Amino acid sequence: MSEQSDPAAQAPQADQAVPSEPRRLTRPETEWQRVSPRYIPVDMLGILVFGAAVTVAGFTPFWLGWREGWVIGAALGAIVLVTLALTPRRVRAIGYLLREDDLLFRRGIMFQRFVAVPYGRMQLVDISRGPIARAFGLAELKFVTAAASTNVLIPGLPLAEAERLRDHLVAVAETRRAGL
Nearer of residues 117 and 138 to another protein, judged by Cβ: 117
Nearer of residues 18 and 160 to another protein, judged by Cβ: 18
DSSP 8-state assignment for residue 72: H
Minimal distance, residue 84 CB to another protein, in Å: 20
> Which span (15-23, 54-62, 86-94, 157-165) binds another protein, by CB under 8 A?
15-23
DSSP 8-state assignment for residue 120: G
Under the binding rule (CB under 8 A), the answer on residue 124 touching another protein is no
Residues 21-50 that bind another protein (CB under 8 A): 21, 23-27
Nearer of residues 32 and 62 to another protein, judged by Cβ: 32
Under the binding rule (CB under 8 A), the answer on residue 15 touching another protein is yes
Which of 10, 5, 9 is closest to 25 using CA atoms? 5
Nearer of residues 24 and 67 to another protein, judged by Cβ: 24
Rg for the chain, CA atoms, rounded: 21
Long-range contacts from 42-50, C-beta under 8 angstroms, 24+ separation: 42/132, 42/133, 42/136, 42/138, 42/156, 43/87, 43/90, 43/91, 43/155, 43/156, 44/84, 44/87, 45/132, 46/130, 46/132, 47/80, 47/83, 47/84, 47/87, 48/80, 48/84
Under the binding rule (CB under 8 A), the answer on residue 149 touching another protein is yes
Binding site for another protein (CB under 8 A): 1-2, 4-6, 12, 15, 17, 21, 23-27, 101-102, 110-118, 120-121, 145-150, 152, 176, 178-180
